[in-house]
């Protein structure tokens, strides 16, 4: 008998978003965990999503986020250094897990910022990935950030040119006083 948990425990929209992020990383794969679903690089988990009753959590930070019994969707991931400290002291939706020196818990709900989740999971992947793959990801991130900055600069330049052209046209069409 297969005792693997069903991924339908996790809300489908959250699972779809997480899959899109996690499976975009080199050599990442998904598998059932003891509860929920986890994503791994080699044998290391970099993301895990599951449903839990936070009021019964061993983590004081998790218990502090809710006063009602009931299932919540929790995402765990790895972080390090100052970012780990900032996340685990920020309060909701983040909390320090009671296991693992660098594991952060995050409650997922209707207010989740999915761009932030992508950034956090990218960092988690890089923390857990072999150096070669982490370097590859960091190079791809740097390239994407450069391309984004160049696009933003070009859009700003186009907007400034359009504004200047409009201002010049208004000056040319303004009536002159006699």
pLDDT tens track for 42-86: 999 999 999 887 677 666 666 666 656 667 889 999 999 999 999
Q: Percent of the chain, pLDDT > 90?
A: 47
Highest mean pLDDT among 51-55, 123-127, 170-174: 123-127
The conformation of residue 7, written as its DSSP 8-state character, comes to G
**Strand, coil or helix: 25:** coil
Task: Name the band, by pLDDT with cuts 50, 70 and 90, for residue 137.
Answer: confident
pLDDT of 1 > 70? The answer is no
* Total count of residues recorded for the chain: 178
How many Å apart are CA 27 and CA 43, to the nearest integer?
Answer: 11
Q: What is the pLDDT of residue 149?
A: 72
Contact 48, 120 (CB under 8 A): no
Contact 69, 57 (CB under 8 A): no
Contact 47, 75 (CB under 8 A): yes
Place of tokens 């991931």: 77
The verdict on pTM exceeding 0.75 is no
């Amino acid at each position: 008998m297969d005792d693997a948990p069903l991924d339908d425990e996790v809300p489908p929209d959250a699972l779809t978003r997480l899959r899109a992020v996690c499976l975009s990383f080199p050599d990442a794969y998904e598998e059932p965990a003891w509860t929920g679903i986890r994503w791994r690089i080699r044998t290391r988990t970099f993301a895990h999503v599951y449903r839990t009753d936070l009021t019964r959590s061993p983590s004081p930070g998790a218990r502090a986020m809710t006063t009602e019994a009931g299932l919540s969707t929790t995402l765990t991931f790895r972080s390090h250094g100052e970012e780990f400290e900032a996340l685990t002291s920020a309060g909701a939706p983040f909390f320090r897990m009671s296991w693992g020196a660098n594991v952060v818990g995050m409650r997922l709900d209707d207010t989740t910022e999915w761009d932030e989740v992508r950034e956090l999971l990218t960092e988690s992947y890089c923390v857990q990935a072999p150096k070669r793959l982490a370097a590859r990801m960091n190079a791809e991130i740097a390239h994407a950030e450069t391309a984004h900055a160049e696009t933003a600069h070009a859009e700003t330049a186009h907007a400034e040119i359009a504004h200047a052209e409009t201002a010049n046209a208004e000056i040319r069409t303004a009536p002159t006083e006699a």
